[in-house]
Structure 1
């Protein structure tokens, strides 16, 4: 599709949303940090681990480093970056991930290099799974419309296969949440392993400790309910709030989902979900769910009643 190719040739509409930040390709960022004396081995070792793990799920190619743009050197006073910085992440139409350097962004190198590298590893590992997820597009009026992402579907009309979760729910029946949770569970597991291997320890301050637990997937139930206020920095307070909301809205819901439908077999179900997300084929996953919970479990769990309504099946 010509329109899709054009979108993927120009990432400026994404970076223009952050005019105060300077964005550079991830490969360049890592080289600059290394030149300034930062040991980037924990990131590279984590990526090698991710490659091996993802290959088992059917992902044969990682997101190219030049398709990852990292923001820093900000001119905005008090700018604070990281995984939960607003309006960033993988964008499928442009096939680009936009992320930010963790910590104070009015710098060329991170204030806490080890923590920033872990945050970067979590973000990159996470976005590689989004990049590798099965997608299908159709052209409508000259524009690309995504009709499949992983194991979720959407009509050209906009009708989604699965319904949104109710506000405040501890559970999920939304495929977007399930897929996001699966990607982040895997990314945080990779990050945790790298932190352990290179003896990177938890910072002493509250936000630093929460960030470390967040990127390594070790947040407690109490952490997820904890409100953090940093009086001297509105952006740090906002970051802590976004971290908490993501943990509650995505990771805790995914954890409850695994506990509901795969008690004692959470890792097996998680692995089958990731393989299905990469391939876009729910046959094996569906058979496993049917074997555990009866025929038609996948559709029964996720499909909204209006998906096949007349007039919405285009």
Structure 2
């Protein structure tokens, strides 16, 4: 929901994606549709992505999201001029950008070529990223105008004051659980994206690789990482691929493991039901169903008691 001035500002931002791709001057970006067509023309069988995409569309529709992220708004970087460039879901400064309504991602694996070195893994990584960012794209958002700048005051089930005060506070660096709604929503988006990617991998018959680094990446795409997989820095992997695996492990510990702990804490034995309620709330922007479900199991006010920051309603936070 936006006013006319905010809508005009957002339209201008969304007409110019170069502001995002310029942050990656070594990579060439093409839409996901163009990338897939080029890969297919070079002999890569892209059917695993296309089949998986239909499964994703069906599942998102079940959750209330009828229009996933268009492939034309999904930009995939490759053909890099940077020696040793390594891409994928955990490449720096990539993902969905809500002001521009575009996803900036990179081809998994070595990026110096136009086609992937590991085609099956690149297709699974692209499917995971697209499904993940489709949930971000379809999340409920509200913007207001603040001194001529469109400012987001709602994202899914999270809220923010125009001065930056958030409904929930950030987790501590060593937290094993979460009380941050941003982490809950990010974890929910990735849990769903990885589950759907796992289904696509099984349907396409993609087996877990023997190579240790690629095995970690495969387990990441499909949501099968163990705590032992990410407990220590990967040894023997140098350059950007080593950096990528360090980022993979950090994301698993700070997002996916914390979200899994949230589900286990508030919905033991009913994790899938709570997970679906979170996603439906993120898409609709309504917390009533989620709050009622939590209240029935943990008592009145569970949602606000778990997540509401005292600073959010402080007089200094309210303009």
Q: Sort the TM-score into its range (normalised by shorter chain).
A: over 0.9
Specify the SS of the correspondent of 2:164.
coil
Q: TM-score, normalised by structure 1?
A: 0.98
* Partner residue of 1:137 out of 136, 140, 143: 143
CA RMSD of aligned residues (A): 0.8
Q: Which residue matches 2:289? A: 284
Instruction: Show structure 2 runs of 5+ residues with no match.
Output: 1-5
Number of residues of Structure 1 aligned to a counterpart in Structure 2: 313
CA distance in 2, matches of 1:35, 1:230: 35
CA distance in 2, matches of 1:82, 1:208: 12
Q: Deviations over 1:167-208 (max 9, x none)?
A: 111000000000000000000000000100111011111110
Q: Which residue matches 1:209? A: 215
Q: Does 1:153 find its partner at 2:159?
A: yes
Decide whether the 8 Å contact of 1:230 with 1:236 is kept in 2: no
Q: Which residue matches 2:244? A: 239
Specify the SS of the correspondent of 1:23.
strand
Q: Deviations over 1:291-311 (max 9, x none)?
A: 010000110010001111113
Q: Which residue matches 1:23? A: 29
CA distance in 2, matches of 1:207, 1:139: 46
Residue 4 of structure 1: CA displacement?
Answer: 1.3
Aligned pairs (5 A) from 1:1-314 = 1=6, 2-231=8-237, 233-314=238-319
Residue 222 of structure 1: CA displacement?
Answer: 0.5
Moved more, 33-42 or 78-87: 33-42
Q: Deviations over 1:20-56 (max 9, x none)?
A: 0000000000000011111111111111111111111
Decide whether the 8 Å contact of 1:4 with 1:143 is kept in 2: no
Q: TM-score, normalised by structure 2?
A: 0.97
Runs of 4+ in 1 over 4 A off after TM superposition: none
Decide whether the 8 Å contact of 1:90 with 1:96 is kept in 2: yes
